[in-house]
Amino acid sequence: MAEPIWHLALRREWDEAVATGRYEWSTLGTPLAQQGFVHASTREQVDGVARAFYAAVTEPMVLLELDTAALEAAGSPVRWEDVPGAGGPFPHVYGPVPVHAVVAVTPYAVGDPVPPAG
């Protein structure tokens, strides 16, 4: 497996993805169709993203570990792009995330450690 990337998701949105076969949310409250890509992070970036954008979330969340090679093979390329003020490039997935490209799903709350790549 290529180096994984991670994405924070609401549990209910992940459950919908399992039912349909693909995850189509960019980030909290923003669908892929509106944003144009799915926001993702490196293992080291997850905590900062969680604290900046998910601190007020009260519903259950999960952390999705994504296989970048599986994303590419499914036609959802990963591009590393600078985010103003973020101090380094972030991975963005340009297309839906097929559920088979998710290699681990972990319940997550802001401040939780990121589990080792699976």
What are the tens digits of pLDDT across the range 62-81?
999 999 999 999 999 999 99
pLDDT above 60 (res 1) = no
Q: Which two tokens stand for residue 91?
A: 């991975």
Instruction: Look over the chain and give the mean of its residue pLDDT values, rounded to a whole number.
Output: 94
The fraction of the chain above a pLDDT of 90, given in percent, is 86
pLDDT above 80 (res 25) = yes
Cβ 15 vs Cβ 86: under 8 Å: no
pTM, two decimals, is: 0.94
Rounded CA-CA distance 94/99 in Å is 15
